Amino acid sequence: MASDDNKRQETIMSRNLELFERAKTTIPGGVNSPVRAFGSVGGTPRFVKKASGPYFWDADDKRYIDYIGSWGPAILGHAHPEVIAAVQRAAEGGLSFGAPTEAEVEFAEVLCSMLPSLEHVRLVSSGTEATMSAIRLARGFTGRDTIVKFEGCYHGHSDSLLVKAGSGLLTFGTPSSGGVPADFTRHTLVLEYNNVAQLEETFARLGDSIACVIVEPFAGNMNLIRPSDAFVKALRTLTEKSGTVLIYDEVMTGFRVGLQCAQGLHGITPDLTTLGKVIGGGMPMAAFGGRKDIMNCIAPLGSVYQAGTLSGNPVAVAAGLTTLRLLREPGFHETLTARTRRLADGLTELGKQAGVALSADSVGGMFGLYFTPEVPTCFAEVTASDRDHFNRFFHAMLEEGVYLAPSAYEAGFVSIAHTDAIIDETLAAAKRALAKG
């Protein structure tokens, strides 16, 4: 829970508290997505009034350096003028048509040209919709029911994916959300991230019945976790051998960790890829795509049904096209990667100086902050972190005007608008926050 100092600060920030209490009278928990409620860190959520570049201002007009960036989409920084102009032009022509447009054809062409694994792509409106559709497609293509996911990886809130691992090897998932019947998850197998031996044993026993393996190629929803080279290689080798569809869920990593996403960094060609966040430039936009023979199973060509009224929305397409054009400028990802690494290395060094069990890691424009002596490699290691210390640090950073993810189990995001000077300002704030204990 928030400390006495934090509570006193919240009293000063009365507008945030007032809005939160008002919201709870009409919105469950006062928020429209659970982590926004500050449930794991305590205290009052900051209600955003406006945002620009690397900053946002809350309802009390306090400015924060933002390391969430709408949970990833704001890779250019907030309210980039060229993106805003593109959205305005598109909106003047109409907000939604429910019919094809030339712009969405161009957008699909751009995605396929940037990511070699995409032979065909279907546009949708959210990451959850993309992953749900990709899994349905994999099942329709293979004629199999069983899917494999990994503990700590989040792939949206569709029923078959809201599961957690049991205690034993090859434990089928049980629902981790109310309202999800056990029958909906009985075909979902949950394994440990980075556990190659477990993966190999699973395929030795069940490989010919597994429709797909879906994985975050760099996990971001149990904080940032890197896959080992052996794990990546095993994923591709075992799925190819068994005729299983390998789905890279790049909703978070897509075009954020590199110009050819995580799969480019891994040197892997997945069978299907899901994309979101960055490709919408801050607007609701996602996609799934991959091998042509698999994608030809989707309606109207095949029997696997998927549809969406707002799919290929012209305003979202305009934002996405502009964002993808700007991040293709020479040196963009090299600069973003270097600044994010500067932040991660600086945090690690500050932990050493303060005698605190703190580590950090980064890839592209994503970073992880862990109150553990070493960078974790799986869900169990992440959950062994010192959550109380993280919560104190989180609130101390809020007081310093730095906004981190309000959970010890979420990755952070840096934009190209976070200059070296802003990174240095953040590290100075972190030093003061760590000194508070």
Query: pLDDT tens across 76-85, in order?
Result: 999 999 999 9
Catalytic residue (choose from 55, 64, 154, 193): 154
Catalytic residue (choose from 249, 361, 403, 409): 249
Return d(Cα 101, Cα 98) in angstroms, integer.
Answer: 9
Return d(Cα 118, Cα 109) in angstroms, integer.
Answer: 10
Active site residue 159: no
Query: pLDDT tens across 394-425, in order?
Result: 999 999 999 999 999 999 999 999 999 999 99
- The domain segmentation of the chain, as residue ranges, is 4-79+331-435, 81-327
Q: Which residues of the chain have pLDDT under 70?
A: 1-13, 164-176
DSSP secondary structure string for all residues of 133-192 = HHHHHHHHHHT--EEEEETT----S-GGG-EE--SSTTPBPEESSTT--HHHHTTEEEE-
Quote the pTM value.
0.93
Query: pLDDT tens across 354-403, in order?
Result: 999 999 999 999 999 999 999 999 999 999 999 999 999 999 999 999 99
Q: 417 by DSSP, 3-state: which?
A: coil
CATH of 4-79+331-435, one of 3.40.50.1100, 3.30.420.240, 3.90.1150.10, 1.10.286.10: 3.90.1150.10
Return d(Cα 373, Cα 349) in angstroms, integer.
Answer: 12
Query: pLDDT tens across 305-329, in order?
Result: 999 999 999 999 999 999 999 999 9
Active site residue 388: no
Active site residue 249: yes
Return d(Cα 272, Cα 21) in angstroms, integer.
Answer: 43
Looking at the chain, the whole-number percentage of residues with pLDDT higher than 70 is 94
Return d(Cα 161, Cα 180) in angstroms, integer.
Answer: 10
Catalytic residue (choose from 277, 370, 403, 409): 277
CATH of 81-327, one of 3.40.50.620, 3.30.499.10, 3.40.50.1460, 3.40.640.10: 3.40.640.10
